[in-house]
């Protein structure tokens, strides 16, 4: 979690095979961004996690879209160093703690933030950030939680244009999204473009 707070950007990759996953990870590393989240909504996520960790042991590789305990177990078996979910599931959160996997649940309301804090989660995915109301909503919703130590990772609709405004908010530890690893760019195997997008993100 500390490393995520230092890097401040989590590129989310939805890729179709492990070769592409490896190229994407390499392209991110070239830019100096040694973190990646593979979403389990793509069947290649687990082989990608394993392969990237083997090739780049120092890369912080996480698993996203962990909707249930089975997904959580699969992420752990693949070697993921952190887990992310779009929503809040107490069973999954407790299991993640039990298995010592740093876990970032998704929230979109004050009630969900309270429930996440109640079980000890302090890094929360604010999702889907832009559709919910963007920086303005996050700023407003953060106020009652300022003293709790909670931190947000806005995700959903984040771009190079709007990321800086989120990163300026005191309770935002990082931003996440697919804009650094666009699916069409991966399909074209344009790895240099991914390095360029990662460098542009880091320059924020
Ligand atoms: C996710 O996988 O967490 C979201 O779909 C990311 O949203 P984005 O594609 O708008 O960045």
In whole angstroms, give the CA distance from residue 33 to residue 198: 7
pLDDT band at 135 (very low <50, low <70, confident <90, very high): very high
**How many angstroms is it from 69 CA to the middle of ligand 1?**
21
Asked if omega into 128 is within 30° of 0 (cis), the reply is yes
**How many angstroms is it from 140 CA to the middle of ligand 1?**
22
Q: Is 98 a catalytic residue?
A: no
8-state DSSP, 143: G
CB 33 within 8 A of CB 50: no
Give the count of domains, the chain.
Answer: 1
pLDDT at position 10, please?
98
Domain span holding position 104: 2-202
CATH number at residue 122: 3.20.20.70
For ligand 1, residues with CB inside 6 Å are 12, 39, 64, 155-158, 177-179
Write out pLDDT tens, residues 62-95.
999 999 999 999 999 999 999 999 999 999 999 9
CB 82 within 8 A of CB 101: yes
**How many angstroms is it from 176 CA to the middle of ligand 1?**
8
Going by alpha carbons, the residue nearest to atom 5 of ligand 1 is 156
In whole angstroms, give the CA distance from residue 38 to residue 11: 9
Q: Which atom of ligand 1 is nearest to the CA of 179?
A: 11
Q: Which atom of ligand 1 is nearest to the CA of 84?
A: 3
Write out pLDDT tens, residues 138-190.
999 999 999 999 999 999 999 999 999 999 999 999 999 999 999 999 999 99
């Amino acid at each position: 979690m500390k490393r995520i707070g230092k890097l401040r950007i989590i590129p989310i990759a939805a890729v179709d095979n492990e070769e592409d996953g490896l190229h994407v990870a390499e392209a991110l590393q070239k830019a100096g961004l040694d973190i990646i989240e593979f979403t389990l909504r793509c069947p290649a996520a687990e082989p990608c996690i394993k392969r990237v960790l083997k090739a780049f042991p120092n890369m912080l590789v996480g698993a996203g879209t962990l909707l249930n305990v089975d997904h959580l177990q699969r992420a752990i078996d693949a070697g993921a160093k952190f887990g992310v979910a779009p929503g809040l599931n107490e069973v999954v959160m407790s299991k993640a703690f039990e298995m010592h996997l740093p876990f970032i649940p998704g929230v979109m309301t004050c009630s969900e933030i309270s429930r996440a804090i109640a079980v000890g989660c302090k890094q929360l995915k604010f999702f889907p950030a832009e559709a919910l109301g963007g920086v303005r909503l996050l700023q407003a919703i953060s106020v009652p939680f300022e003293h709790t130590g909670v931190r947000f990772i806005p995700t959903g609709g984040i771009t190079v244009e709007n990321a800086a405004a989120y990163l300026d908010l005191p309770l935002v530890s990082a931003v996440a999204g697919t804009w650094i690893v666009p699916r069409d760019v991966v399909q074209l195997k344009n790895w240099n473009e991914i390095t360029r997008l990662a460098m542009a993100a880091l320059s924020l």
